[in-house]
């Protein structure tokens, strides 16, 4: 390879590393005789909402916990911004986990803490910021999720949708590079679920975060699925965008996504309009 070719190669590799914030390479994970993740690869871009879908038992939750560093794959690797997690020291792994925000299924707020206290909790645990700086940051993220007058209320005093917004505020209060969401629309009515979807997507783009969402909500798939990974029996069955999923002829995907008669009709109308 001549110098010009070598420089192009370096530029291409650096571009890929910069763009691909999470790179998954042939990971496998087992528990005893149960082989859960079976050697698939994928990548999640920053500034996009990346969705993981699949039937119960497909490996979604185990995969998410691997991404969070809670489980260690027996084979393969997961890299964040070009750094392979398994190759980092214990301190470097802890530092990386502090760059991750998490929205739990059911919100997982502390009942005994106010909204303000819940959002401030990560700052108190992991930073040495002065109190006034923490308060300013809490005010900023609560304003961003459209919760201005709820600071001193407790989780039991606010709606399910507001609790989700508190959970999102807590997840982004540390300015994470990576945002993980486990069924963020669980328990919400359809209208509120759309509001939460849109909020997550807006925050993803504004802060250029790599967002990964485990979901069963097909409205989310159609609404914000810029990248969709479909797992089946621990393997990558399909991946693409919410536009491409309308056109796929993969039987497993269409059986899962378009399981209702309504969605089947919508898909058929979409295909006919473009033919």
| Residue-wise pLDDT tens digits, 163-195 | 999 999 999 999 999 999 999 998 899 999 999
| Residue-wise pLDDT tens digits, 23-75 | 999 999 999 999 999 999 999 999 999 999 999 899 999 999 999 999 999 99
At the fourth CATH level, the homologous superfamily of domain 16-240 is: P-loop containing nucleotide triphosphate hydrolases (3.40.50.300)
Query: pTM for this structure?
Result: 0.88
Mean per-residue pLDDT for 201-217? 95
Q: Return the pLDDT at 270.
A: 67
Mean per-residue pLDDT for 146-151? 92
Domain ranges of the chain: 16-240
Task: Indicate the helix (H) or strand (E) that contains 261.
Answer: helix 261-273
| Residue-wise pLDDT tens digits, 95-131 | 999 999 999 998 999 999 999 999 999 999 999 999 9
């Amino acid at each position: 390879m001549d110098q010009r070719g070598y420089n192009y190669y370096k530029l291409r590799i650096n571009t890929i590393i910069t763009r691909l914030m999470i790179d998954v390479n042939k990971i496998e994970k087992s528990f005893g005789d149960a082989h859960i993740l079976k050697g698939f690869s994928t990548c999640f871009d920053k500034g996009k909402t990346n969705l993981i879908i699949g039937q119960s038992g497909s490996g979604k939750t185990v995969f998410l916990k691997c991404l969070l560093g809670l489980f260690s794959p027996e084979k393969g690797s997961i890299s964040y911004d070009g750094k392979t997690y398994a190759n980092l020291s214990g301190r470097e792994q802890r530092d990386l986990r502090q760059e991750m925000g998490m929205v739990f299924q059911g919100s997982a707020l502390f009942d005994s803490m106010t909204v303000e206290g819940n959002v401030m909790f990560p700052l108190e645990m992991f930073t040495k910021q002065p109190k006034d700086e923490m308060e300013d940051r809490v005010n900023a993220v609560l304003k961003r999720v459209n919760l201005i007058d709820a600071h001193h209320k407790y989780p039991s005093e606010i709606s399910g949708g507001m609790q989700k917004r508190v959970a999102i505020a807590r997840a982004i209060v540390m300015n994470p590079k990576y945002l993980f969401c486990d069924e963020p629309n669980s328990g919400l009515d359809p209208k509120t679920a759309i509001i939460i979807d849109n909020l997550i997507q807006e925050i993803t783009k504004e802060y250029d975060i790599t967002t990964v969402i485990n979901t069963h909500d097909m409205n989310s798939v159609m609404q914000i699925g810029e990248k969709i990974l479909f797992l089946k029996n621990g393997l990558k069955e399909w991946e693409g965008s919410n536009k491409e999923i309308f056109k796929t002829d993969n039987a497993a995907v269409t059986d899962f996504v378009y399981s209702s008669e309504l969605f089947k009709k919508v898909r058929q109308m979409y295909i006919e309009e473009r033919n």
